[in-house]
Amino acid sequence: MTIRSFGIFAWTIGAMSWLAVAQPPAGRGPGEAGRGRGGGGFAKVPELPANLFASASTLARTTLKHEWVDIAMGRGKLHTWIEYPAGEAKAPVVLVMHYDAGLDDLQRALVDQLATEGFIAVASDLSSGFGPNGGNYDAFKYPDQALRAVAKMDPAESMRRYKAAYDYAKNLPRSSGKIASLGCGVGGTNSFRFATEVPELRAAVVIYGMPPSEAAMAKIQAPVLGLYGADDASVIATVEPTIAAMKKLKKSYEQHMYPGATHFFMSYAVEGRNGEAIAQAWPAAVAFLREHTK
């Protein structure tokens, strides 16, 4: 199975979660609802990122400016997807740090949602150059190969790559110079870690990511928002110690735990009460980013 064909399989899984999150409004049939962004039989919820089922269609139909760029990074290049909000005004930047599976359609649809919300969204492919024949995410034949490439990457290398993206993003013509980070899963872990490495960062959103060490937390200057599923045992076990450590260090750490929500709740709305968690967590993340990138 190729990554592209895996996406079709993922849509099938996502169809169930789609029904859990985006039923058509009363009095309107599926065909009418389907005219919204996201397409298919049911419209994408305008204020939430597309799920697995709607991500490819969302990307195909967006009217926002977007582009691939290759950022110079030592001897290599960092393949990066950038999407811009409507208009020509300067805007804050959000570095989107992709989840364990890589920079797939689901993550680029999340980028599209951030751009819709008024941010320049910059998402770098951590697996750049690690694919077959030195390729990027789309060069892997099987999805688990891409996942393993990301999992094996040394944290220092991940930070080096995201710092290259940060330096590039702050010099974009439309950048306001105010930059935050956001990620899910390993992306959330990287978002938290990035705040320890870049004191100029305005804010970090950590969606079911793991915390850095307390010694590293001492270097954080940015406020941090953590969003977690209460049924995500391994991650939840880190939250109370993180609250205590950040409080001791006098750092800003806001957190929300969503009852009945699991790990990867942003991807799998059908599990537990993940749909409810998405509907609460995403607006919280956007509000937090807006507050700290004014």
Domain at 283, CATH number? 3.40.50.1820
When the pLDDT of each residue in the chain is averaged and rounded to a whole number, the result is 87
- Rounded mean pLDDT, 97-120: 97
Pairing of strands 203-207, 224-229: parallel
Question: Which three-class secondary structure state does DSSP give residue 252?
Answer: coil
Cα–Cα distance, 176 to 146 (Å, whole number): 33
Alpha-carbon distance of 178 to 12, in angstroms, equals 38
Residue 36 in any domain: the answer is: no
Please give the residue range of the domain that contains residue 82.
Answer: 64-292
3-state DSSP assignment of residue 180? strand
pTM of the model: 0.86
Q: Is residue 18 part of a domain?
A: no
Q: pLDDT tens-digit profile of 250-271?
A: 999 999 999 999 999 999 888 8
18-62 pLDDT, tens digit each:
333 333 333 322 222 232 333 333 458 999 999 888 999 999 999
Residue 244 within a domain: yes
The answer to the question of residue 12 being in a domain is no
In a domain, 22, yes or no: no
- When pLDDT is cut at 50, 70 and 90, the band that residue 13 belongs to is very low
Residue 35, domain member (yes or no): no
Token pair in block for residue 7: 């996406």
Q: How many structural domains compose the chain?
A: 1
- C-beta separation of 136 from 82 below 8 A: no
Residues in the chain: 294
pLDDT of residue 174: 98
pLDDT tens digit string along 218-234? 999 999 999 999 999 99
Q: Note whether residue 5 is domain-resident.
A: no
* pLDDT of the residue at 43: 59
Would you state the pLDDT for residue 222?
A: 98
Is residue 48 included in any domain, yes or no? Answer: no
Nearest to 78 by CA among 174, 173, 165, 169: 165
pLDDT, one tens digit per residue, over 272-287 is 999 999 999 999 999 9
Pairing label, strands 91-97, 175-184 = parallel
Work out the end-to-end distance of the chain between its first and last CA atoms, rounded to an integer number of angstroms.
Answer: 45
In the numeric block, which tokens belong to residue 252? 């800003």
What residues contact residue 27 under an 8 Å CB cut-off, 6+ apart? none
3-state secondary structure of 278: helix
